[in-house]
Amino acid sequence: MSEQQPAVHAADLEKVFNIGRPTQVEALVGVTLDVQPGEFVSLIGPSGCGKSTLLRLIADLLEPTAGELAVNGKSARQARLDQDYGMAFQQSGLFDWRSVAKNIELPLELKGWDKAKRRARSKEMLELVRLGDRGSSMPWQLSGGQQQRIAIARALAAHPPLLLMDEPFGALDEMTREHMQSELLRICSETHTTVVFVTHSIPEAVYLSDRVVVMSPGPGRITQIIDVRLGDQRDDDTREATEFYQKITEVREALRGSELGAAARGIEDR
């Protein structure tokens, strides 16, 4: 596999739901996007713009209606079967009946790893998300932010090259959310993971991303791709930098600019 091969390659990707029925919806049309290895790309847009659909196509949780899609140079299906990506959602989706460590080990268990190897890896992942002492806790004993960190640890447990995230911090309070964003950047730079990140928060997208993909609904499509790249050393000062605000404005205008002014409804301005 060459270094130049994109982590995600989509060309003229299309997804239509309920084909031929009165409820037919064009969720995505003409989506062309390449995500490079190591890159952090956010998908942002109002409800119905197809950002979650695009993420699920990449994850092979949905099948495209038309177009080209490759993940790690393979078909999306093969990439899923090879567990080339890890996934985290808005809901942590932790299993109440498994300890924190056993939650992290689940993808490895399904892959058939032996117990000692699983234990070692879950320990390593717990250290990575800085919850090293909580392995034997049960999920319900953790706070929302901690649960989300475990979900990320689980997504990365098999060391996948790609991390797919669907509004993972959407249910967290603002302070926890900013903390989790910094943690995510640290984790990704430590593990050299490529990330595709769905969000509806403009500052979140700008803070985290190398590129922000602005999408609009009816039919869902990409309207603009904005280069952000605030540098590798992002911290709390970054959130107060002029450059940060300029990029926020740029993304916001791109969202408003997409011909439907009303399309920007549902975008959080924080």
Partner 1 sequence: MKRPRALLAVVVPPLVVGLVFLSLWELLIRWRDVQPYVMVKPSAVWSALVDNVGPIRDAAFVTGGNAVAGLVLGTLLGVVLAVVASAVRPLGDLINPLATAVNAVPIVVVVAVLTRMYEADSETPRRIMAMLVVFFVVFVNVLRGLRETNATQLELMKSYAASPLQQFRTVRLPNAMPYLFTGIRVAAPLAVITAVVAEYFGGKKNGLGSGITSFLSTAKKDVGLAYVAGASALGVACFAAAAILEFVAVPWQRRRSSR
Interface residues toward partner 1, by CB under 8 A = 56, 59, 61, 80-81, 83, 85-87, 89-93, 95-97, 106-107, 110-111, 138, 140
Q: Which is nearer to partner 1, 92 or 216 (CB)?
A: 92
The answer to whether residues 71 and 84 touch, using CB atoms and an 8 Å cutoff, is: yes
CB 53, min distance to partner 1, A: 13
CA distance 29 to 16: 8
The answer to whether residues 105 and 136 touch, using CB atoms and an 8 Å cutoff, is: no
Amino acid at 97: W
HSE on the CB side for 106, CA within 13 Å?
A: 18
CB 100, min distance to partner 1, A: 13
E-state strands within the chain:
8-17, 25-35, 40-44, 66-71, 74-75, 85-88, 162-166, 194-199, 211-216, 221-227
CB 252, min distance to partner 1, A: 30
At residue 232, φ and ψ (nearest 5 deg) are -80, -25
The token pair at 260 is: 């439907």
CA distance 138 to 231: 37
CB 131, min distance to partner 1, A: 19
CB 247, min distance to partner 1, A: 31
CB 165, min distance to partner 1, A: 12
Amino acid at 183: E
